[in-house]
Structure 1
């Protein structure tokens, strides 16, 4: 048994080494559906006055959000990520996106609303501690993407995975908030009062944090269980789309998040400490990613 495990571990180390090199340049899949179709519209300004409207964030909030620095990507800056410039408020694209949200609003069902509002509460608190009553719930949220792949897919059975994803969430949050503060995009319902948002937000729109974190999780879990790639990506897509259903994000917020997530995960796999921690997670999955059998 010991020899079998040793051979398996050596094989996984070799595979991981090759994988890490390949992953650092993994490409983004092309946009599809309404994300691709809406990209044909111009992002340029049509009304300078409307374009002056920005989401204003007070200095104390910015300082608090930026106080938790990355743990892996310590040498990375915003310049290392290339996401599209935010469309002007008065652009053809923004108008087309709002029209899309209005049509989506007409079609949303009670189940669409229920599931989208449920997903609005899927996030992770960076300041939660094991002593907090909310700790288990937040740890569980780290496994929302891919939740259907097995009963073992949970923070209790995969504690190293949960620890890694929590650290990744911290790194991602630093850059997501940096981008939100940089672009300060106002929400669609600010431009058009006919958009009936079902969630109140007090932060900028671009990019979507829910979408970005979901795609990041999907891309990481994809490397641990590639046979479930379609499920991980679909779960992330559903999370992104849920933000459009409830009227708080433009489709371009979602697409910018997907672009950022791919680049962010590629950066992680260029980081030596992350690769070491990820290898431990791979070993954890080799031992525990299976249904239990008892006679």
Structure 2
């Protein structure tokens, strides 16, 4: 879906100024560079949306997932595949040594460098991931970031009951794809599950199985494996709930510029119908909102000097009404 600036504004061709009105009132203030952030609980489609947006805008993606920054465990941490990336450049994805403790301060340092690099190429930085503490450290606690950039948050949300069912099935798919063998490569009798990539859900839960798989009979081995997989599912669902609560807290306490997109219908459907629902409810509206956000200063200037006032990005951002979004995107 191609979106252009005229879709977000209708500028008056001729402007008249009342007596006493000075042109310097309409000289735009120094604009900050724009950054788009995509958040949401695990499994809601943050990576998909960020890639969808990056293919429509001249954008690159900065990963903000705590476990996906590490090298290895691609299945366990559910990293996007090369095919899923669709040629979009990703930063901070699989670059950190598995045994290193990558802190919020480390993320701020590396993410700032990545965002600056993307900006120098004239592209839009899209920060996407489920680690809300990383994002808060960057956009809320880092004064240098605040001085340079203006950000907007797209929140991809799914009904918890539906999401829990989805992530449970996704774990089964990950097991089929080789999760057990991948996790086994990181098993250590002296393993510390509080450091580095070994904290990832899918590693600690397999510990008891790996310790006993070679010394128990087939039936016991199967039971231990089932217990481990069930724990992975349970802990993933608990993580999704915590992430959802964290987003609500950030929204309520910090008053971030945020728009919630309900993707539940897309998760309830299958095949082509699911893709159509995703485009209609998530990808399409997000693209329109981002377009308006990128040109918000231009729109607000036109609204100030034009009569009657036109619909601006500010009146769209934050709404959950798809009709209002459509009014400025089509």
Task: Check whether TM > 0.5.
Answer: no
Greater helix percent: which structure? 1
Greater fraction strand: 2
- Which protein shows a greater Rg? 2
**For the superposition of Structure 1 and Structure 2, which TM-score range results when normalised by the shorter chain?**
under 0.3
Q: TM-score, with normalisation over the residues of structure 2?
A: 0.22
TM (norm. structure 1) is 0.24
